[in-house]
Structure 1
Amino acid sequence: MHSKNFRGTDDEKYKKKNILIIGSKWSGMDMLFQFLGAKDESKMADFNTITVAQGNFGFLDKSTNFKKYYDEEKVIIKSANKMVFSEDKVQFEDGSETQIDVVIFCTGYQYKFPFLKDESIIKIEHNGQYFGPTYKRIFSAKDPTLIFIGNIDGPTLEFYIERHAILAKYFIEGKLKLPTSEEMVADAEQFMAEVPDAPSYYKSPPDVHFKLFGVLHQLLLDSGIDAPPLNEEFYKKQQELTSLALQSLCSGDYLDFKSLDCKGYEVSDSSEFF
């Protein structure tokens, strides 16, 4: 099954089973985190073993957070390259073979909008990794009443969701001013041209993330909406948080990432907006 269908570790299908998690980035690490009790070992799921097949960008093999489970062979890390499946076993690149009862794919997502009747409003390209055009990654440039909250990836995602929600609120209330559709399409095309690896539209380097914060903030100001300033201290804190999060990711220490104290990193006191 795909991780999008995961609903909890207490399902009987995991009990005393050998589980294979394919993928070890954000969703893969979070899946392992859930089975291990989410920082509370007393809540660990009743599985037999978990094998994590990580790709070229996996870091779980470096983790110190999960070392105890590696030593106990409760959690096993393997390469996701050249896996061969039989009826109830998987052979890995190193020649080892493991009996597997449940496979969970934590391999990413493709954008799909089956509920949209007019497919010309939003196009999906690059094998489902891009959709657009969107203005500032939130408003459909062809129909701004179609709003996408959280269309971005990265350690500061929560802060973007907050800012997107604020912008959406003011737009729905008729207080946020947007350019014409033609201008928004042109802006989206220019943005895509400036972002490295543009097909992965929601992904971008941290410096692009920080720049976008200012752009979204300016939208509020241009509409005459009073918003607390995003000063140098704010950007410094965002960079610190991003650095800490990426350090946790690249070391495979997801428990450290989940334990990050985000107090003091807030965009603003959003209560004044809602």
Structure 2
Amino acid sequence: MPITTKSVCVIGAGAAGLAAARHSLKAGLDVRIFEQTAQIGGTWVYSEEKGCHSSMYYEMKTNLPKEVMAYRDFPFDSSLPSFLDHRDVLEYLQKYSDGLSIDFNTTVESVTRIEEEEKWKIIVQNGLGTFDYYFDIVFVCNGHYFRPNNPYENSEFEGNLIHSHDYRHAEEFSNQKVIIIGAGPSGIDIGLQIAKTAKEIHLISKKAVYNSLPENIQQTSEHVEKVTKSGVKTVSGQEFEADSIIVCTGYHYQFPFFDSTVVRLLEDAHVVSPIFEHVVHVDYPKSLFFIGLNLEKAEIPAREELEGYEERQMSHQSSRGLAKRFYHLLQHDQWSYLDRISKLGQFESWKYMKTIEKITEYLQDRRKLDVKNYKMINFRFLDEEQLEYEIIEEENQ
């Protein structure tokens, strides 16, 4: 009896989807990629349009260097600086996607399990109509930077209030008083950009403790209690007025093609459940994945281990002082996590992972000391295996 090649559906042609597709093809599987937009790249596709899929702004450099971001078997152009313009990342992904067959402008409407056939039924819609397909394996790679978490969208503020999802140009805030709520990577990056055009900026967040900021950025390290008609009021009672407010409070997860019997979104859509090791669906550990790392080489853990993961992870995050909504936040734990995933997937060990860890940890410390200039650093490798490197600092222009 002939062996039938298993079929794979990849939802999304961003960085994760392209990697899932390439590794699936390498494993000898039949692959079909559905992408709802007109091109590959996901979050790296810039658009002047607001309220669309894109969260990219016009002038954006990566907050991680190319030495950390590259696919293992596909390096970036060595002539590029370590911190890349978003256009360079998109070009890199376009080159990586060469040879892949992708259904563009195709939206996945639903993903349902057909138990008697051990298949996933995928309903898609495109310009020609609605179509049904059946697959053995599904990789969910639709990203999570397109549904803004904006707790202030229905506030009484009388000025201009946007989420960072819709920020595009610093010139839009020329000569304005601006409040930025949230001081994570987007908040501080946007703050540094609009400092060149805005009159005054208030960066308000518990994370607002940066050194060496421009003189027109003031930091208030506390939470916002409410957005008022003229600005914001903090939990301590301080009030600030503004012409514009930019909300940089992250994103919700969203999987509109699943119903709640398959995937549950908990903690105001910040936690995806039930997922083992942030990747494998507990009920379908051989066929439903949320990053695309497991290609059936991995031995499936016992049911008790799969089901107990969420409780163990919640307890672990609590011991780190994190609220439940930060369930998927790994931070320094990412290195032990990647090691576990590598062993589970039976991937060949890669010494360069230690280099990635060293570079990342160095930059985290450097960013705290000099958030204005850390992206001027370049890394140059001193050996063929890229295990030793030197740090070169450019002068900020």
Partner in structure 2 of residue 51 of structure 1: 202
Q: Could you say what secondary structure the match of 2:317 adopts?
A: coil
Greater helix content: 1
Q: Could you say what secondary structure the match of 1:51 adopts?
A: strand
Tell me how far 1:27 sits from its aligned partner. Answer: 2.5
Contact kept in structure 2, 1:134 and 1:184, CA below 8 Å: no
RMSD value, Cα: 3.6
Tell me how far 1:195 sits from its aligned partner. Answer: 2.6
Q: Could you say what secondary structure the match of 2:372 adopts?
A: helix
> Using a 3 Å threshold, how does the CA distance of structure 1 residues 185 and 76 change in structure 2: closer, same or farther?
same
Contact kept in structure 1, 2:179 and 2:204, CA below 8 Å: yes
Structure 1 unaligned blocks of 5 or more:
37-43, 150-163, 270-274
Mapped partners of 1:246, 1:30: distance in 2? 15
Tell me how far 1:262 sits from its aligned partner. Answer: 5.5
Tell me how far 1:106 sits from its aligned partner. Answer: 1.4
Tell me how far 1:82 sits from its aligned partner. Answer: 6.1
1:122 paired with 2:263, answer yes
Report the number of matched residues. 217
Mapped partners of 1:250, 1:93: distance in 2? 25
Q: Could you say what secondary structure the match of 2:187 adopts?
A: helix
What does residue range 81-230 of structure 1 map to in structure 2 within 5 Å? Answer: 81=223, 85-90=227-232, 98-117=240-259, 119-143=260-284, 145-149=287-291, 167=293, 171=295, 176-177=297-298, 179=300, 182=303, 185-186=306-307, 188-189=309-310, 191-192=312-313, 195-197=316-318, 199=324, 200-204=326-330, 206=332, 208-221=333-346, 227=348, 229-230=349-350
Contact kept in structure 2, 1:142 and 1:181, CA below 8 Å: no
> Using a 3 Å threshold, how does the CA distance of structure 1 residues 2 and 219 change in structure 2: closer, same or farther?
farther
Structure number with higher relative contact order (C-alpha < 8 Å, ≥ 6 residues apart): 1
> Using a 3 Å threshold, how does the CA distance of structure 1 residues 143 and 17 change in structure 2: closer, same or farther?
farther
Tell me how far 1:79 sits from its aligned partner. Answer: 4.1
The amino acid of 2:199's aligned partner reads N
Mapped partners of 2:339, 2:221: distance in 1? 40
Q: Could you say what secondary structure the match of 2:338 adopts?
A: helix
Deviations 1:203-240 (A, max 9, x none): 2352x32122222222442xxx6x3x234x743x3442
Partner in structure 1 of residue 166 of structure 2: 6
Contact kept in structure 2, 1:214 and 1:230, CA below 8 Å: no
Tell me how far 1:87 sits from its aligned partner. Answer: 2.7
Tell me how far 1:96 sits from its aligned partner. Answer: 6.7
> Using a 3 Å threshold, how does the CA distance of structure 1 residues 94 and 187 change in structure 2: closer, same or farther?
closer
Contact kept in structure 2, 1:249 and 1:257, CA below 8 Å: yes
1:29 paired with 2:29, answer no
> Using a 3 Å threshold, how does the CA distance of structure 1 residues 127 and 249 change in structure 2: closer, same or farther?
farther
Greater strand content: 2
Contact kept in structure 2, 1:18 and 1:50, CA below 8 Å: yes
Deviations 1:129-149 (A, max 9, x none): 322222321232234554333
The amino acid of 1:6's aligned partner reads D
Partner in structure 2 of residue 240 of structure 1: 358
Structure 2 unaligned blocks of 5 or more:
1-160, 387-397
Q: Could you say what secondary structure the match of 1:255 adopts?
A: coil
